[in-house]
Amino acid sequence: MKQLIEYIVSNIVNHPESVTITEEQTEDKEATKYLIKVDPEDVGRVIGKEGKVIKSIRQIVRIAAIQKGTRAIVDLLDDDATSRPEASSEEVIEEKVEELQKEVPEELTEKKEEALEEVAEVIGEKKEEASEE
């Protein structure tokens, strides 16, 4: 299983030499947990848009584990998660999104709302013109 994950991930990333897969048993010993560590530049490539790549990797590993009669959990670690390996990649992604949302200036949000109001006014005017004709 470890070799399968390493093969898939190393063919996705730009720095295959920095791919490491750590294998450990869960506390209840019912599943094997695979922790993927890649170069910081490659984290986005492994996650993919909307997490599609990591979800696909998990699905492939889950199917392979079922065929062997075992359970497998796949998590992606980045620099933030190395100090707390229990963090799943979904949690890491959510944290990053929250950080980025905090950085968006309020004035941009206000401008977006103003633009939407203007668009609504224009649409309303066009509807009125169309109904008068």
CATH assignment at residue 54:
3.30.300.20
Q: Integer distance in angstroms from the first to the last C-alpha of the chain?
A: 69
The answer as to whether 70 is a domain residue is yes
The answer as to whether 112 is a domain residue is no
The answer as to whether 19 is a domain residue is yes
* 6-23: pLDDT as tens digits: 999 999 999 999 999 999
Cα(126)–Cα(31) distance, rounded to whole angstroms? 61
Sheet holding 32-37, edge to edge: 20-25, 32-37, 72-77
Does the pTM surpass 0.85? The reply is: no
24: β partners: 33
* 50-83: pLDDT as tens digits: 889 999 999 999 999 999 999 999 999 876 554 3
